[in-house]
Structure 1
Amino acid sequence: MTAFIGWRGRRHRRLSVLALGIAMGLLLGGSADRATAVTGELIRAGEATPGDSAPGYPWVWPTDGQRLVIAPFRAPAHDYGPGHRGMDVAAEPGSQVQSPADGVIAFRGTVVDRPLITIDHGRGYVTTLEPVASDLSPGDVVTAGDVLGVLADGGHAPRGTLHVGVRVDDVYVNPRGLFGTPPRAILLPCCAS
């Protein structure tokens, strides 16, 4: 499949893979639910990204300032294998952490040695942010950009980073694609004539 669509470039390949997933789902199962399931399998396999199928896409970056990914998502070989089930983004300790999309707080508490907060966005999308000190409670409704709390200390992520983990139908996916693409660089002339 890569040889057939690889020449088109990344954006076209992603669209082609998603279209292929929907077509295969409709042919195999004959329903939109099956099409969504097949597309979800392609996303989990790394062949596609959630893109605009996500609620509220593109999502709001969870921290202010520079959009710098310190540690990217690394999919595990199997459910219990090693990997990095999220991305760690640069943030100043004590800085505000924002909700990336609309949702409902599903959990807020301390797990092992780190405070975390989990948001259910609906349609199978769940985000966990850590370490985040927050006063919110399960059941609280948040909208994209709402302040959830502040970056705290603890956990496996290095100090000064926020871990962003996203699950789609209980399977971790690469969250980077949900936040849109970085702005395109524009080259300007270097010298005035």
Structure 2
Amino acid sequence: MAEPRGAVTPGQVTTGGVTTGASGSVRAATRGPGAAVPAVARLWPVGVRPLVLRGWEPPATPYGPGHRGVDLAAAPSAPVRAVAAGRVVFAGRVAGRGVVSVELAGTGSPPLRTTYEPVRASVREGDTVRPGEVLGVLEPPTAHCAGACLHWGLLRGEAYLNPLSLLPPWLLHAGPSRLLRVEGVPLP
């Protein structure tokens, strides 16, 4: 079975703007002003390790075609969580879809801003949120994805960035856990 477009797997360059090497290192693609992004998130906005259905595909020009975020597989009514601490700067409807936008604390000037859609918000503009705090629930599927998905975006000012760059490398790679021998300790 083919990998979904933009899936993050070791040794591949994804269309989502993340390069992964055999060592598991991750380097986010950088484009535009303020493209350096600190890995401030410690969890995914939905699920534990959701499937990336479509990766970040930055446009060549500000108004050109592209995909200005990532689509993450999730069930309708799944909780959508803040990936990092911040302040809700928007919670409402845009083009018929629920959208929540969070300005991330301590991320420079202009600050980083994450967006989540389609979400039925349980937070309001001005609310302060902690990492992992529920922002709302995923609304039923829209025409954006074939099935239910969360479109997760990241901006600094007006520049779109790869939201996967917020996550540390250990969260991006779904590999099996391995037990390592500790010298002097017999194996069971």
- Common fold: TM-score over 0.5: yes
Over 3 Å counting, the alpha-carbon distance change for 1:187 and 1:81 in structure 2 is same
Over 3 Å counting, the alpha-carbon distance change for 1:186 and 1:109 in structure 2 is closer
Give SS of 2:164's match: helix
Query: Identity across aligned pairs (percent)?
Result: 34
Match of 2:55 in 1: 72
Match of 2:168 in 1: 180
CA distance in 2, matches of 1:101, 1:187: 25
Scaled by the length of structure 1, what TM-score is found?
0.67
Match of 2:112 in 1: 125
Higher relative CO (Cα under 8 Å, sequence separation at least 6) belongs to 2
Q: CA deviation at 1:133?
A: 0.2
Q: Say which of 75, 83, 88 aligns to 2:71.
A: 88
Q: CA deviation at 1:79?
A: 0.1
Could you tell which deviates more after superposition, 74-83 or 151-160?
Answer: 151-160
Match of 1:44 in 2: 31
Over 3 Å counting, the alpha-carbon distance change for 1:118 and 1:147 in structure 2 is same
Q: Does the 8 Å contact 2:41/2:131 carry over to 1? A: no
User: Partner letter of residue 130 of structure 2?
Assistant: T
Deviation digits for residues 61-113 of structure 1, max 9, x if unmatched?
A: 00124421000000101000000000000101111010010011100111112
CA distance in 2, matches of 1:130, 1:187: 32
Is 1:138 paired with 2:125? yes
Where do 5+ consecutive residues of structure 1 fail to align?
A: 1-7, 16-41, 189-193
Q: Does the 8 Å contact 2:87/2:104 carry over to 1? A: yes
Match of 1:31 in 2: none
CA distance in 1, matches of 2:121, 2:176: 39
Q: CA deviation at 1:169?
A: 2.8
Over 3 Å counting, the alpha-carbon distance change for 1:118 and 1:186 in structure 2 is closer
Scaled by the length of structure 2, what TM-score is found?
0.69
Give SS of 1:177's match: helix
Is 1:63 paired with 2:51? no
CA distance in 1, matches of 2:25, 2:167: 18
Q: Does the 8 Å contact 2:24/2:173 carry over to 1? A: no
Q: Does the 8 Å contact 1:76/1:84 carry over to 2? A: yes
> Which structure has the greater CA radius of gyration?
1
May I ask how many residue pairs the two structures share in their alignment? Answer: 151
Q: Say which of 137, 146, 159 aligns to 2:147.
A: 159
Over 3 Å counting, the alpha-carbon distance change for 1:151 and 1:13 in structure 2 is closer
